[in-house]
Amino acid sequence: MRPTKTTYLGYAEAVGADPRTVADDLASGAMLHRVRRDVQSGMRSAVDATPTFFMNRRRFDGIWDDPAVFAEGIRAAAHARADG
């Protein structure tokens, strides 16, 4: 199901953004170029779901919602960067 304008305004309010500003941006298409650019970037990076994480420019394909696995991925990326 595709989110509606009301859904986006609810998200905006929930995170402390001004819903009126968000409504104006949605109506004007002010962020459309940025969204399209980000979608294209994601497609080039083989992002097929959210969230998708990159560590040192490499896609993390581990289990991101397991804190131990995610932390190990971060440690491995940090170690690889230090070696490399």
Q: What is the pTM of this model?
A: 0.56
CA distance 38 to 43: 9
Structure tokens at 20: 């009126």
82 or 18, higher pLDDT? 18
40-71 residue pLDDT tens: 999 998 898 888 999 988 899 888 889 999 99
